[in-house]
Structure 1
Amino acid sequence: MTLLGPADVRQLAERLGIRPTKQLGQNFVHDPNTVRRIVRAAELAPDDVVLEVGPGLGSLTLALLENGNRVCAVEIDPPLAGALPETVGKYAPEHADRLTVIAGDALRVELSGVAPTALVANLPYNVAVPVVLHLLATVPSLRRGLVMVQKEVADRLTAGPGSRVYGVPSVKLAWYATSRQAGKVPASVFWPVPNVESGLVAFTVLGDDKSDIPTRPETFAVVDAAFAQRRKTLRAALAGWAGGPVEAERILRAAGVDPKLRGEQLTVEDFTRIASQRRRAAASG
């Protein structure tokens, strides 16, 4: 099976009249070795149904199909969405029946009738975090994933408590899944060449279906408040959320959290206990 090389990518883009835009975060991978490495790193099972967001010209799509998986590709750019089945038909006709293309925004599209079990994607840098968190919240069938993002974003997503880059994305991803960095991707394998390095983030969704747990929005509200003012102690940062610094301190102490700590020192379990403690306090009057 033939994958897309640099000449193929340029020819496809020219034929479609595609000029990569920063607005859509379009940087197309043109190296077959890279997309095969991404597929290997994803550790897909033969029966995994892969959700690919932003397939672009189809480089990674072809590698996923070559691996034997069914692929549901969501593409926001209409010309690219329309051309993908034709590209697969040309380069991998024997796998064309295993591709489904949905034209739309991954943050809004309906995946009715599709139950993807793995997310594998080269995500546009400007929407990577919202897309990952949205899909984990709305697609309960997802069990694992591997996404290529800006290296700086990969660092934030996988950071642990106490890290300089630990923040809202780190905690929210940890709510849904365990994560790790799975390698770097050089800028030279993209067209056009971005001015940043990319990184791979692998994640495994935690056993329970956490998308429907009522404490998720409550916990995320605590997380947002704690990191809105990073330099403040939790007692001060959560004052607005709790109804005042005194009440914030009471809730924190009841949850077993030192009010003098800062948000970057807490685990996702700590934030969940704080949210649960406030709910119990509200229920008791």
Structure 2
Amino acid sequence: MTSHIYQGHYARKRFGQHFLHDQSIIENIIRAIQPQHGESMIEIGPGLGALTVHIGRLLNDLVVIEIDHDLILRLQNNPLLKQKLTIFQQDALTFDFSRFARSQTQILRICGNLPYNIATPLILHLFNHISVIHDMHFMLQEEVANRLLAHPGNKSYGRLSVMAQYYCDILPVLNVPSQSFTPPPKVRSKVVRLIPIRHSKELPNHMYLLSCVTRAAFSQRRKTLRNSLSHLIPSEVLLHMHICPKLRAENISVMQYCQLARWLGKI
């Protein structure tokens, strides 16, 4: 098996490590994020610090979440960063962003080059903390980014599309070729910006209900809604909401899925 080494570090496949080295891409990402003095910013998966060093120059303090002990040692010994960094060595999927935001007494800006193997569950995890997030900028596998951005009727439109577009306005920022990384991944990447939409009047359990409806619908996306949602929502309810039971999951808008979730919350 071929081992990939970059700046003295072996890229670990189990952590999905691909290190960004293209300086023009890095500069474009920093311009898109626009870190500002005094902001509370968290970088997920800083790796060898390609983005971290640039962000650190613009901030007095920067929080990073990194699971790889060897990379943490390198960050701790980086002369440009070590006085500014607060490092959490843990899986970002276990990080309590709401608790941290309370400790900072301000909402968070989050960024990162997300490992392909945890991108989707991590984004869904962050939606649990959406009320304490100002914005998010992520480098993602192009397929995942396209799912975030997809509209009804598009083959990429699915459960992640609905969940993400309910919670955020999502904008494409930058396409990134595989050659911009070491080792180069077998897929292209895309940077996206997610800006939370405030839903102050929604039910506290709305995310859970929306998750239930979308999971049921898209787990059997070849079936009609009449069949895929039969155990949750009767066809007459769909008709009452002007949703044709003969349609499939990819034909239903985010607003219509929210209607279905609200109905579930009332029964």
Scaled by the length of structure 2, what TM-score is found?
0.88
1:208: Cα distance to partner?
A: 3.3
| Residue in structure 2 matching 1:67, options 44, 54, 58 | 58
Which residue pairs with 2:213 in the alignment?
Answer: 222
Which residue pairs with 2:250 in the alignment?
Answer: 264
Which residue pairs with 1:249 in the alignment?
Answer: 235
Inter-partner Cα distance in structure 2 for 1:161 and 1:69: 43
Inter-partner Cα distance in structure 2 for 1:163 and 1:188: 28
Could you say which structure has the larger radius of gyration? Answer: 1
Which residue pairs with 2:129 in the alignment?
Answer: 138
Inter-partner Cα distance in structure 2 for 1:102 and 1:82: 12
State the percentage of identical aligned residues: 32
The ranges of structure 1 where at least 4 consecutive aligned residues each deviate by more than 4 angstroms after the TM superposition are 209-212
| Native 8 Å contact 2:170 2:192 kept in 1 | yes
Aligned residue type for 1:128 = A
Inter-partner Cα distance in structure 2 for 1:266 and 1:46: 42
Structure 2, unaligned runs of 5 or more: none
Inter-partner Cα distance in structure 2 for 1:25 and 1:276: 37
User: Relative to structure 2, which stretch is displaced further, 47-56 or 226-235?
Assistant: 47-56
Aligned residue type for 2:128 = A
1:174: Cα distance to partner?
A: 1.0
**Are residues 1:159 and 2:150 paired?**
yes
How many residue pairs are counted as aligned between the two chains?
258
| Residue in structure 1 matching 2:92, options 106, 115, 127 | 106
Inter-partner Cα distance in structure 1 for 2:202 and 2:10: 37
Q: Secondary structure at the match of 2:17?
A: coil
Inter-partner Cα distance in structure 1 for 2:113 and 2:188: 13
User: Relative to structure 2, which stretch is displaced further, 26-35 or 223-232?
Assistant: 26-35
| Native 8 Å contact 2:159 2:218 kept in 1 | yes
1:216: Cα distance to partner?
A: 1.5
Q: Secondary structure at the match of 1:119?
A: strand
- Superposed CA RMSD in Å reads 2.1
Inter-partner Cα distance in structure 1 for 2:169 and 2:87: 29
Q: Hey, which of these two has a bigger chunk of helix by percent?
A: 1
Inter-partner Cα distance in structure 2 for 1:70 and 1:207: 27
Q: Secondary structure at the match of 2:217?
A: helix
Inter-partner Cα distance in structure 1 for 2:44 and 2:207: 24
